Chain A
Amino acid sequence: MKQIELICPAGSLPALKAAVDSGADAVYMGFRDATNARNFPGLNFDADGARKGIRYAHERGVKVLLALNTFPQPGSWEHWCKAVDQAATLGFDALIMADPGLMRYAARTHPGMRLHLSVQGSATSYEAINFYREQFGIQRAVLPRVLSFAQVRHLVANTEVEIEVFGFGSLCVMVEGRCTLSSYVTGESPNTCGACSPAKAVRWEEDASGRRSRLNGVLIDSYGPGESAGYPVLCKGRFQVNGRVDYAIEEPTSLSLLDHLPELLQAGVTALKVEGRQRSPAYVRQVTRVMRQALDACLADPENYRPAGEWVAQLDRVAEGTTHTLGALDRAWQ
């Protein structure tokens, strides 16, 4: 029988345990620095924490993946290489990487190490994915959130590399790895610093007219009194275009493929990823539990799969913007 692995976020040891205990097949984490794309204060693992997390997961038959998916520069190259070396000694099941130079280093220095191409690698076609396979022997690629269902099916059919897609979490509107909006405004981007719209650049203002959120001084959104306000991710603010104030790029919303698991199974997708290493253990537990139930139901009887109403409600409660979308998988979204 075909299977789909459930890959869940571990921003901390409690979140890792929540994911493992709630039915994840694998968890992914990062080291506590800019070597990964969720370089947020108070998040992630040092070597000792990673060891504990790996032991906890492995004792329960759950794999642990390490995201090393930012782009080292000349001044930081050695540090990234050391992170690869350290990962090799800690016993991770795979490294999730984006930088071609660093992947080459990993493939040459640790030839037994399993490599996954990160979503930050921006590989949106089988031609690109097969290139990374030939060059570095990658076993899996995580797809940027830009392809329609038909395009995902076609891609899977034309590569022997396992394909992982995002199933739930905050929605990146741009091709991952090819967005520098954040550094344009704040100086820090996912590629170079592992951060998008970093908290240290956020400023809230409040007066009688309501609240305003700024990112390094740039007004991202304003809210009337009583209107609920979200974190100012810069592509999800309200701006003026052609005299109209609106969510010109995207509204605060989450990606959710809960309704479409049979299509993913049929397309031959290997793994489903839950976004959210920056979220709480409670979020991880909730989402992992729902996705586990949904995947089990789908795998047992894909033809008659229907998501339970309570699953949808539970996910919407923890979603960004409390609504969900299929993103680019649905042509109408594009």
Chain B
Amino acid sequence: MKLAMGPILYFWSRDEVFGFYRDLARLPVDIVYLGETVCSKRRTLTLADWQLLAERLANAGKEVLLSTLTLLESESELRTMRRIVNNGGFAVEANDMAAVSVAAQAGVPFVAGPHLNSYNQATLELLAELGAMRWVAPMEMSRETMVGMQERRPSGLQTELFVYGRMPLAFSARCFTARNRDLPKDECGLCCADYPEGMQLATQEGEQFLVLNGIQTQSGRICNLLREIPDLAALGVDVVRLSPRSRRMEEIVEVFHQAVTGEGVTQELYDRLVHGEREEQCNGYWFGEAGMVVRE
């Protein structure tokens, strides 16, 4: 089983992004997804910058993919998506059917991203015929559904599951970060840069509920399927995905590395992962329950 680092979902500075991947190059991660998947206004890195990072990480032995924007609205966003798909070197993570279409036409191998709604074998067959090398399960996929998917997935198509981080749950035309700051989206001042792990949204009772990340809404709780790693391996899941955080990433990677290469997941390992975290963890989706639920 391989370990993947998903795309950075937050808006970090150029230095922070370069620093993050400089550290990641020497960490035991097998696959790295690069690029902006949330908001096209976040342009501190150009495609050339991402390609430079991709080359560095590839030289460090990683499988590198360039990810495309999830919500495509304007012609300029389509143009950027086409440039990413036709980058000439790296495979891509297609996060919208528009990107699947462009990749299929160009013969570029792609990973079918987590928001393409791959819920059944027929959809997997279609994606595989179009050139998908791997599919990422939707956030809400349960173990039961995954068993069915794995039983009849097309041969050669790898399976990837999101196992750690705040889950991206929704996308909108509206920017909720700018809304909170009373700024129009067109003059947002890139205020999401002030929130390296998003803006916390709590209920009126103070319960940590969701996280606002520009046009994206994330789970308030951290999806944590560390304990399920041995089961995922038994189900033939090929890749598990971690989602970038602004701190403790090295330790998180090491814990998961130990889990995917080791003999099992001990309580000690689990405690090491959650130690010092303020956020609650959750794993409900995997057990067919509400996503926010914590199943011990």
Contact = CB atoms under 8 A, between A and B. Distances in A.
22 contacts: A71-B117, A75-B144, A100-B97, A102-B120, A125-B96, A128-B101, A131-B100, A146-B71, A154-B75, A175-B171, A180-B167, A181-B169, A183-B285, A183-B291, A184-B219, A184-B290, A219-B203, A238-B204, A239-B201, A241-B202, A331-B186, A333-B174
Interface residues of A, number: 71
Ordered nearest first, which 6 A-B pairs have the shortest CB separation? Answer: A74-B148, A101-B122, A127-B98, A101-B123, A328-B173, A131-B101
B8 interface: no
B139 A74 contact: no
B190 interface: no
A105 B97 CA distance: 18
B144, B147, B149, B210 interface centre (most CB from chain A within 10 Å) = B210
B212 A241 contact: yes
Contact of A100 (B98, B123, B185): B123
Interface of A: 71-75, 77, 98-102, 104-105, 121-125, 127-128, 130-132, 134-135, 145-148, 151, 154, 173-175, 177-181, 183-187, 189, 191-192, 216, 218-222, 235, 238-242, 244-246, 248-250, 327-328, 331-334
Interface in B63-121: 70-75, 77-78, 96-98, 100-102, 115, 117, 119-121
B272 to A, nearest CB: 26
Interface of B: 70-75, 77-78, 96-98, 100-102, 115, 117, 119-127, 138-140, 144-145, 147-149, 151-152, 167, 169-176, 179-180, 184-186, 199-207, 209-210, 212, 217, 219, 284-285, 288-293
A245 B126 CA distance: 46
Contact of B71 (A124, A134, A148, A218): A124
Given A99-B123, A125-B78, A125-B98, A146 B172 contact: yes
A228 B138 CA distance: 37
Interface residues of B, dominant DSSP: mixed
B138 to A, nearest CB: 7
Contact of A174 (B101, B121, B171, B288): B171
A239 B119 contact: no
Contacts of A154: 75
Contacts of A71: 117, 119-120
B182 to A, nearest CB: 10
B174 A250 contact: yes
A89 to B, nearest CB: 21
Given A124-B71, A240-B201, A131 B185 contact: no
A181 B216 CA distance: 11
Contact of B98 (A131, A218, A222): A131
Given A74-B121, A101-B121, A178-B115, A218 B209 contact: yes
A239 B149 contact: no
